Structure 1
Amino acid sequence: KLFLQKFTCTPLKIQDIPRGTTDKTLSVVPGSSFTSHLQQTIADEIIKKPTYFRGSKEDVHDWLEKLEQRFTMVKWSDEQKLQYISIHLQDDAQRWWTQASSVIKTWSSFIEAVTQAFGSTKAQQLAFEKLKWYKQTVNQSITQ
């Protein structure tokens, strides 16, 4: 509960929605109580159902992209993202974070470090697999 209090938003009130408004005509206006309620709902979802990253067998770039989308929707600051990130990590990634967290102090340094720790191996494996199954045509030079 203490953690959730850091991300509280104003709840939606029925009287704030104009009469005759349907879900098709309701627009989300930044700063409105509906927007705040939506952000709170998404924040609750992020906390209750985290997007997990376990480590080397997964694509860190895809995971970071999904995570950034969710964080952007609730407009969390970089400090909030970094504070919350440990809940998203399991197995190898959690062990890595236990060691790296004392050095990583910003969200951008986290992205750089986790990409360096887990991203290059996956990218190298994919590049090697692509190269391994590549067939050179008769008229194709070695540099093409």
Structure 2
Amino acid sequence: MPLKPLEAASCQDTLTNCLRNQLLITNLEKLQKYSGKLQQNVSNWLREIQQTMNMFKLTDDEKLFYVSLCLEADARDWFYDNPHLCSTWSIFTQNLLKTFESSGKGSIAFNRLRHYEQGINQDVRHYYSEVMKLCKEANPIMDDVSKLQYLKDSLKPSLRFDVLLKNPKNPEEFLEYAQMIEELKSLDDKQDVLTYLDKQKFTKPPTINSNNINNKPQQINQPSIPRQPNHNNVYYKPNYNNTNPKRIFNNTTPNQVPYNNTIPKPPYQCYKCGANDHYIHNCPHFQ
């Protein structure tokens, strides 16, 4: 006999719930159980448990029901021995942290939070996650105003001024603005690099030929005029300061004593009377 539509839908919902619960239990069992030992970080453990439960969209009552599967040793005993401390999921998380969290852990986390700064090469997303994690460790119930202030104070100077101009109202807005400004500055830096590389292409340094480093300077050949034969012992002497060479006549030849062409002196005589025994100033014709 076929089932009625209402009964068929009810059977389907029951099957779906069974599969969902089985899948939930399988995932919770894969997580590390919390025992209450000092080596375990109760804040990190609680965060992982809540993420898994939120993935299956559990209510607070369902979270409180299934959390016992994730406890063991001292933590499990504490859960069953103190039901008044675990009446609701919110009360359970507060009392769990108060009981098992180290008394000095909050002070250490606050100290790290105050001195934490964004690294030069640390992106905004990773910086945001680290600060929010420290805020959770320092105070699990820290308000958004305090978280936002820590995010602003620890941001690196190259982004801080532009983010403060945006005036974010909560950590989510801070992350949105900071990532946007980070991307814009990254594009500017890439553009500057490309501009610099383009300029370098047109400013290549002069190349030096290694073959000419040790070569001696070549002698400059001065212009010369070829000698032309001449029977009068005439030769041309080049003049580099003038385009026309000077013509020089010379009766001497190499390795030859120059010939004396001096004119002989006139004979001893008087130019008045023609006598050869006196000069004109002693001539008797003047006396």
> Structure 1 vs Structure 2: percent identity of aligned residues?
26
Q: Distance in 2 between matches of 1:98 and 1:70?
A: 23
Is 1:55 aligned with 2:55? no
The answer to whether residue 26 in structure 2 is matched with residue 45 in structure 1 is yes
SS at match of 2:37: coil
Q: 2:63 aligns with which of 70, 81, 85?
A: 81
- Output one character per residue of 1:35-84: Cα deviation in whole Å (capped at 9) or x when no partner: xx7x5674142354354100032111000100001000101110001011
> Conserved in 1, the CA contact under 8 Å of 2:36 and 2:100?
yes
TM-score of the aligned structures, taking structure 1 as reference length: 0.54
Deviations 1:64-122 (A, max 9, x none): 10000100010111000101111111111112112112442100000001010011336
Q: How many residue pairs were aligned?
A: 97
Based on CA coordinates, which of the two structures has the bigger radius of gyration?
A: 2
Question: Hey, what's the Cα distance between the residues in 2 that align with 1:9 and 1:51?
Answer: 28
Larger relative contact order (Cα-Cα within 8 Å, sequence gap ≥ 6)? 1
Question: Which amino acid is the alignment partner of residue 52 of structure 1?
Answer: K
Supply the RMSD in Å over aligned alpha carbons.
Answer: 3.1
Q: 2:73 aligns with which of 63, 66, 91?
A: 91
Structure 1 gaps of 5+ residues are: 1-6, 12-36, 132-144
Partner AA of 1:56 in structure 2? K
Q: Any gaps of 5 or more consecutive residues in structure 2?
A: 1-12, 113-287
Residues in 1 aligned to 2:42 and 2:73: alpha-carbon distance in whole angstroms? 14
Q: What is aligned with 2:16?
A: 10
The answer to whether the 8 Å contact 2:28/2:52 transfers is no
- Aligned pairs (5 A) from 1:20-31: none
